[in-house]
Structure 1
Amino acid sequence: MLDSLDGKVALVTGGSRGIGAAVALRLAEDGAHVVLTYQGGAERAEEVAAKITAMGRTGWAVRADSADPEAVRGVVEAVVERFGRLDVLVNNAGVGVLGPIGDLTLEDVDRVLEVNVRAPFLYARAASAHLTEGGRIVNLGSCIAQRVAFPGATLYGTSKAALIGLTKALARELGPRGITANLVHPGPIDTDMNPAGGPAAEGQRELTALGRFGTGAEVAAAVSYLVGEGGRYVTGAELAVDGGFAA
């Protein structure tokens, strides 16, 4: 299989549900052993890990708060200690706090930036010490970073826009070592946090060119391409999987 990840090890943050779970399962289908982090919902995380193991890969769920720098470092070290390598990092874990800028608290700001910006930076820094030729980093951004179509997204949009700079800088710094770094911008995706049948769904649906929500599997397919052989010459790129939200 051209895009096989056989024998490789992938770390997917926030992999217990939604887009993260879909990515973890797809990378396992592609042949990778997958470590997924979670903060809450241990049962769901273990279910994803069990599905990966059932495919004949190794699935490992590790509890880690992305807002804790020591936890971030510890996860990467644990992966390398157990498997002896790390080939793919997918920075998916994130939090969303929406609302008028005047209503946002300092605690809101700190939490969102810690999880959505600092954690991807720290995971990438820790992983870069172990990634070798052919290594991959994929950050999960948001369509909000490309088009803010409604009010109340100041903080969330700030955090996701920061990943553009991080990704391009990583691509430039790690490129000489044969490591790529790319950014995927999901649009409205049908998950338990933002269901296609939820109260805010119709407005989001109307903002897309395709007139529908996407699926976690569709985002995972984009990640699969970027970390596979087909993505070897793609780095520093932003790939929108948003149904035309930013068109």
Structure 2
Amino acid sequence: MDGKQAELAVVVGATGDFGQAIVGRLLQAGLGVVAVARSAGSLDALCSEFAGVGAGVRACVADIGDDSAIAALTASVDRPVRAVVHGPGVAVAGGILNAPTAALVDAVNIKVGGLLRLVRAVDERLVAGSRLIAIGGHYGFEPTAYAASAGIANAALVNAVRQLSLAYGERGITAHLIAPGPADTARLHRVAADRAAMRGVTVDTVLDDMRAESSIRAFTTPAQVAWAVSTLLAPEADAMTGATLMLDSGRRRGLP
């Protein structure tokens, strides 16, 4: 890198299926990555997987659901931050009539509170052209009978991203939301197994039903989400600030 240290990307939820794919794409883009998760063991495994790749990965053990994460994140960044990617998952927790209220509050705290903690922690390292990227989900636009906490938290995230786009716009910093549909991950297969047990059908039946909700009969993949993150690094993506990039494989049918 001509003796210069690479700019950083900070990825929350780095050890999940989405996070691992995103880390790989950001390394390919020439950024150093600060990988954030609660488990030191999973972070060690991630760092080992990407050892020697690109500008490298450093681990930051932090619980983004708690204000203590701010100090840990601040201490982990020592040069300009080109991008932050906030992608922690939340519990499905059931429908609106039976989901515990604590689960709903926790989901909003992780999705929205976590994003704000992340941004505040790196604020002094952001530069013109930096990207604030949140991974939400199409349940914030299309409510479902079994994922009230995810729907409410992701809907709140839409507004938070728009507010960040206004607050940071004068500094040339943009904010973006990526909203995948159900993704082909280990978590989705666990959800499908739970739904299959409740319905008394096979897991494959549930997965087929979920695929049928998509106009292309497909799940979103972690690689597609990582592609979207890397695409937002382009200068042309400035015009997308405050907007949602839908990666739902054609599940959303209504108008905005």
Shift of 1:207: 0.7
Bigger Rg, which one: 2
Q: Which amino acid aligns with 2:95?
A: P
* 1:79 and 2:85 are equivalent in the alignment: no
The match for 1:3 is none
Aligned pair count reads 237
The match for 1:49 is 47
Q: Taking structure 1 as the reference length, what is the TM-score of the superposition?
A: 0.88
> Distance between the aligned counterparts of 2:150 and 2:208, measured in 1?
21
| Pairing of 1:163-182 with structure 2 (within 5 A) | 163-182=157-176
> Distance between the aligned counterparts of 1:153 and 1:207, measured in 2?
15
Corresponding residue SS for 2:220? coil
Corresponding residue SS for 2:210? helix
The match for 1:187 is 181
190-199 vs 56-65, greater mean Cα deviation: 190-199
Corresponding residue SS for 1:94? coil
Corresponding residue SS for 1:76? helix
* 1:206 and 2:200 are equivalent in the alignment: no
> Distance between the aligned counterparts of 1:144 and 1:14, measured in 2?
19
> Distance between the aligned counterparts of 2:94 and 2:168, measured in 1?
36
The match for 2:116 is 121
Alpha-carbon spacing, 1:131–1:217, altered in 2? closer, same or farther (3 Å): same
Shift of 1:46: 2.2
Q: Which runs of 5+ in 2 are unaligned?
A: 194-202
Kept after mapping to 2: 8 A contact 1:17/1:44: no
Percent of residue pairs bearing the same amino acid type: 28
Shift of 1:13: 0.1
> Distance between the aligned counterparts of 1:85 and 1:53, measured in 2?
22
Q: Taking structure 2 as the reference length, what is the TM-score of the superposition?
A: 0.85
Corresponding residue SS for 1:89? strand
> Distance between the aligned counterparts of 1:154 and 1:192, measured in 2?
20
Shift of 1:170: 0.8
Kept after mapping to 2: 8 A contact 1:53/1:59: yes
RMSD of aligned Cα (Å): 2.0
Shift of 1:109: 2.5
1:244 corresponds to which of 241, 250, 253: 250
Shift of 1:194: 1.0
Kept after mapping to 1: 8 A contact 2:60/2:76: no
Shift of 1:237: 1.1
Q: Which amino acid aligns with 2:223?
A: A
Q: Deviations over 1:44-70 (max 9, x none)?
A: 322322333321312012221111111
